[in-house]
Amino acid sequence: MRIVSIDSSLGSRLLVVDADPGDRGTALSVLSSAEQAGSRRHAESLGVMLAEALSAPEVAGRRLDAVVVATGPAPFTGLRAGLVTARVLGRARGVPVHGVPSLDAVARAALDQLADRAATVLVVTDARRREVYAARYRARGADDVERLDEPVVLAPGAAAELDGVDAVAGSGAVLYPQIAAGRRSLAPVSGDARAQCRIALARLAAAGAGATLPDEPLYLRHADVQVPSGRRRVR
């Protein structure tokens, strides 16, 4: 199964992979990839990255089976750019677009680093305004995760007080070291395009033939720039 995976939750990351699900988890072969580390200029970079990835010799002219995209929570502009790119590609190629929450992908990549399969990981990513998106996770099988609570927006001090946690992962732990104080800190710091493929395939297999995964964005807060809701009287 050939998949394009797009993550724009922090920087911009794009993979084209061949996926081979198995009893011990999904094996992914990366055919092409592109990455921009900066958290700005997503809209400008994603189109160029996608064109380069799809023109790679191992990919060009071959059928695409699905698109997987990060759905947040993440800053508004970057997240929207990734979702629009994924939907346009899916429509152009006539393939389904599957969404995976960004914190889920960070959690899966972090949990892969722990030997204890019952461990709990706190994922905290940058929400701007000196806050973080936060949720706690455990592993569900080899490729999926179980979210123990819904993602929320917290001040770093409040995130540091969340208990029952064996390790911390995400950009929030880098920006606000107090969150990880006394706890093991794990990579990655942002979304993971490879992990979100594994999660998507695990969830699709569990859901059965013909299933799709919602690709609606999870913002948790309004955009920084708002359109006025009514006319302002000018005197």
Q: What are the pLDDT digits (tens) for 218-230?
A: 988 644 434 444 4
- The answer to whether 108 and 186 are in contact (CB under 8 A) is no
Residue 42: what pLDDT? 55
Residue ranges of domains in the chain, CATH in brackets? 2-101+192-207 (3.30.420.40), 103-186 (3.30.420.40)
Q: How far apart are CA 84 and CA 78, in angstroms?
A: 10
Rg (C-alpha) for the chain, rounded Å, is: 18
Least confident of 84-93, 166-175, 198-207, 217-226: 217-226
Q: How far apart are CA 20 and CA 17, in angstroms?
A: 10
State yes or no: pLDDT of 9 exceeds 80. Answer: yes
Residue 93: what pLDDT? 95
Residues 198-204: what's their mean pLDDT?
96
Distances (CA, A) of 17 to 40, 102, 163: 25, 19, 37
H-type helices in 32-167, by residue range? 42-54, 76-93, 102-111, 156-160
* 3 state SS of 134: strand
State yes or no: pLDDT of 187 exceeds 80. Answer: no
Residue 38: what pLDDT? 60
Q: How far apart are CA 6 and CA 71, in angstroms?
A: 10
10 Å Cβ neighbour count for 134?
A: 27
- The answer to whether 39 and 11 are in contact (CB under 8 A) is yes
Mean pLDDT score of the chain:
88
Q: How far apart are CA 147 and CA 121, in angstroms?
A: 10
Instruction: Please give the DSSP secondary-structure letter assigned to residue 200.
Output: H
* 3 state SS of 78: helix
Question: What sign results for the dihedral spanned by CA atoms 54, 59, 64, 68?
Answer: negative
State the first-to-last Cα distance of the chain, in angstroms, to the nearest integer. 63
Higher pLDDT, 119 or 233: 119
* 85-128 pLDDT tens trace: 999 999 999 999 999 999 999 999 999 999 998 999 999 999 98
Q: How far apart are CA 111 and CA 198, in angstroms?
A: 13
